[in-house]
Copies of this chain bind each other. A is one copy, B any other.
Amino acid sequence: MELRHLRYFRMVATELHFGRAAEKLHIAQPPLSKQIQDLEAELGFELFTRTKRSVALTPAGQVFLVEVTQIFQKLDRAIDLGRKTSRGELGKISIGFVGSATYNILPVILQQFRDRYPYVQIELHELTTDRQLIWLREGRIDIGLIRPPVIDVYLGSQVIFQESLVVALPTNHHLAVLTTIELSSLAAERFILFPRQLAPGLYDPIIAICQAAGFSPQVVQECIQMQTIVSLVSANMGVSILPASIQEAQRQGVVYKPIRSGSGAADKLATMSIFWRLSDDSPTMNRLLELALENREL
């Protein structure tokens, strides 16, 4: 049995006239009769009761017609789903991100992606850099938003966001009255930073600019969550240097001050990259990647 048989059957069942049906199918009448006969022989039951002058569906033919119509609908749907999937308009994508991406690039990308591809299911995982790399390799996430550098030959990456660093001070700090902060004035302060292990891409530049300003920061506390660092600053436990986008989440008891860019070295030092498996060619991943690169802020 081939779809041709079912298409022909449907036309004859609609027209109830072999001549007209053949005409609509753009074939001659004898091959149409033949195909219907073949179909009936294969099915093992009659689809039509024919006299020399008229054609009518048998009860079995009626039942079969309903089913066949649904089959064609299902086939159309199958093709449509396949096409949408191939375009990345349908499917699933798993995105990993470090907490600090929440304040800048992630919401922008998510909103645009949802607008463009509303039928793609998005799965979000807030993960530390190292976990993201593991999950990426294992295929548990398809995209990672990570602060470079990361060296992995199986992963592709692109910088998608760069921002300046700011100093976070308790409101009652004596430097909090200034509009910009000279880094060297923080030489004696106690610092609260991310653990180097989890975010070397953020940690190392901070240490570097401090040393360029003539001091090594005294780190008294390390915190995994950026929000926790802010809390500790507000509680007068110390000061911190953070990506500028932290200012999106304002908090009582803390003020953020730009670093005076005498050397210019403090500008755009916090970078965020998008990572993916080089072996992954899935349409949804490619669409998300395209969109992320379109929205680069460097």
Contacting B at CB under 8 A, from A66-106, are 67-68, 70-71, 74-75, 77-79, 81-83, 85-87, 90-91
**Known contacts A2-B3, A3-B3, A49-B281: A63-B44 contact under CB 8 Å:** no
Chain B residues in 8 Å Cβ range of A3: 1-3
* A interface residues, tally (CB under 8 Å): 38
Contact with B along A1-35 (1 / 0, CB 8 A): 11110000000000000000000000000000000
Cross-interface CB contact of A61 among B44, B61, B82, cutoff 8 Å? B82
Interface SS majority for chain A: helix
| A43 at the binding interface (Cβ < 8 Å) | yes
Q: Check A283–B78 contact: CB distance below 8 A.
A: no
* Bound complex: CA A86 to CA B47 (Å): 9
* Bound complex: CA A61 to CA B67 (Å): 25
Q: Check B282–A83 contact: CB distance below 8 A.
A: no
Q: Check A82–B70 contact: CB distance below 8 A.
A: no
Q: In the assembled complex, how far is the CB of residue A91 from the closest CB belonging to chain B, in whole angstroms?
A: 6
Chain B residues in 8 Å Cβ range of A63: 78, 81-82, 85, 90-91
Q: Check A59–B85 contact: CB distance below 8 A.
A: yes
| A60 at the binding interface (Cβ < 8 Å) | yes
| A154 at the binding interface (Cβ < 8 Å) | no
**Known contacts A3-B2, A45-B83, A59-B85: A78-B91 contact under CB 8 Å:** no
The closest CB in chain B to the CB of A87 belongs to B45
| A261 at the binding interface (Cβ < 8 Å) | no
Cross-interface CB contact of A79 among B43, B78, B85, B90, cutoff 8 Å? B43
22 A–B contacts, CB within 8 A, in A order: A1-B3, A2-B3, A2-B4, A3-B3, A44-B83, A44-B86, A45-B82, A45-B83, A45-B85, A45-B86, A59-B85, A59-B284, A60-B83, A64-B79, A64-B82, A67-B74, A67-B78, A67-B81, A67-B82, A71-B71, A71-B75, A74-B74
- The 4 A-B pairs with the shortest beta carbon distances in the complex, nearest first, are A67-B78, A45-B86, A60-B86, A64-B82
